């Protein structure tokens, strides 16, 4: 995977999280750190930061003193009591003064498992450090948060995604057109992992990567197609707009929730829509998304959405 291949190996190589990197660099220089909690959206460098920090402290043998677990796979009480506690109580290897347990997706741990983890973090704090990563820190109990130094990761800026994608394309010897790079930035939404994966999937089909190929392989409709759908709703009426909607679903392989979310994003860039129309459509799209998530029939809900847009724009 290109994501693993191009992952930074040290803290100083991490891009796009300046405030986080400065604090982690201090820990790396001191050779120790407290329990840490990394919180933020996916693809922003939480796992990379944890592995880079342990590599800086332990060197190339960091795997000997590091236990990496995905809490969403082993989220129960027994996993914490057995696997985590057994590793925490063992002595560090190779002259190290402590070991590291990295729990990815810690917000997936059950309440009982988090309670047991809190006690282990307190009991073995001298010989074992914990690094927890999660998308939603609010799902981690307060006693654990209070024992950790909390780091907030933000979505990466567009220019940071763009520069990294261009550097990877050059190293991998693929031709990336300028508008294709912009398309990757558009579909990634600040998620570097998603951006690199989009680049790799497109490169596996054609080493000359175009904008059309990016949208095709990421199951994303280009903004101009979504604007054309809205214009069709406004000018042509229900039946032509419904046919255009079905064409977009078929061409780009979109699920109903995908289309609603992409339309919501593209709607704000549509200059032909008035402010009050955008407000009405936002409220309506939220209702359609809720119905789809709760199990509503996709075809019927999308038809209802299309009719509602036609009615709102006709007014």
* Nearest Cα to Cα of residue 221 among 266, 275, 284: 266
CB atoms within 10 A of CB 239: 11
Structural tokens at position 192: 């570097």
Q: Could you read off the pLDDT of 113-169 as tens digits, one per residue? A: 888 888 888 888 888 899 999 998 889 999 999 999 999 998 888 998 999 999 999
CA distance 87 to 103: 13
Q: Are 15 and 160 in contact (CB under 8 A)?
A: yes
Q: Which distant-in-sequence residues (6+ apart) come within 8 Å of 163 by Cβ?
A: none
Q: Which distant-in-sequence residues (6+ apart) come within 8 Å of 91 by Cβ?
A: 127
If you write DSSP's letter for every residue of 121-147 in order, what string do you get?
HHHTTTTEEEEEEES-GGGS-HHHHTT
Q: Are 257 and 293 in contact (CB under 8 A)?
A: yes
Q: Are 169 and 195 in contact (CB under 8 A)?
A: no
* pLDDT value of residue 8: 75
Structural tokens at position 198: 């989009």
Specify the DSSP element, H or E, that contains 288.
Answer: helix 275-293
Percent of the chain with pLDDT over 90: 48
Is the pTM value of this prediction over 0.85? no
| Exposed e or buried b per residue across 83-101, where buried means at least 16 C-beta atoms within 10 angstroms of its C-beta | ebbebbeeeeeeebebbbb
CB atoms within 10 A of CB 294: 7
Q: What mean pLDDT is predicted for residues 48-71?
A: 85
What residue ranges define each of the domains in the chain, with the CATH number in brackets? 2-152 (3.40.50.300), 158-217 (1.10.8.60), 223-314 (1.20.272.10)
Please compute Rg for the chain using Cα positions. Answer: 24
Q: Are 41 and 135 in contact (CB under 8 A)?
A: yes
Q: Could you read off the pLDDT of 240-267 as tens digits, one per residue? A: 999 999 999 999 889 999 999 999 999 9
CA distance 155 to 153: 7
Q: Could you read off the pLDDT of 176-231 as tens digits, one per residue? A: 999 999 999 999 998 998 999 999 999 999 999 999 999 999 989 999 999 999 99
- Residue owning tokens 């927890």: 132
């Amino acid at each position: 995977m290109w994501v693993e291949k191009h992952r930074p190996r040290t803290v100083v190589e991490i891009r796009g999280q300046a405030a986080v990197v400065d604090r982690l660099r201090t820990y790396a220089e001191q050779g120790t750190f407290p329990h840490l909690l990394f919180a933020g959206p996916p693809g922003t460098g939480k796992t990379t930061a944890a592995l880079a920090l342990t590599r800086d402290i332990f060197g190339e043998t960091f795997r000997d003193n590091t236990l990496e677990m995905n809490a969403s796979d082993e989220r129960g009480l027994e996993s914490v009591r057995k696997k985590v506690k057994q590793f925490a109580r063992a002595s560090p290897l190779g002259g190290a003064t402590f070991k590291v347990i990295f729990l990815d997706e810690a917000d997936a741990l059950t309440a009982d498992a988090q309670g047991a983890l809190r006690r282990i973090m307190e009991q073995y704090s001298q010989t074992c450090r914990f690094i927890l990563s999660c998308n939603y820190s609010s799902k981690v109990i307060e006693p654990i948060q209070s024992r950790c130094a909390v780091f907030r990761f933000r979505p990466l800026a567009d220019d940071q995604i763009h520069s990294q994608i261009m550097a990877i394309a050059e190293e991998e010897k693929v031709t990336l057109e300028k508008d294709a790079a912009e398309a990757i930035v558009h579909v990634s939404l600040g998620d570097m992992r998603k951006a690199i994966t989009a680049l790799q999937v497109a490169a596996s089909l054609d080493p000359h990567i175009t904008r059309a190929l990016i949208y095709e392989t990421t199951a994303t409709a280009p903004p101009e197609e979504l604007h054309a759908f809205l214009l069709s709703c406004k000018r042509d009426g229900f039946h032509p707009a419904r046919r255009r909607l079905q064409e977009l679903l078929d061409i780009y392989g979109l699920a109903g929730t995908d289309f609603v979310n992409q339309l919501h994003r593209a709607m704000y860039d549509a200059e032909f829509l008035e402010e009050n129309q955008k407000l009405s459509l936002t409220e309506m799209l939220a209702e359609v998304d809720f119905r789809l998530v709760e199990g509503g029939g996709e075809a019927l809900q999308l038809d209802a959405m299309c009719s509602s847009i036609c009615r709102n724009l006709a007014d």
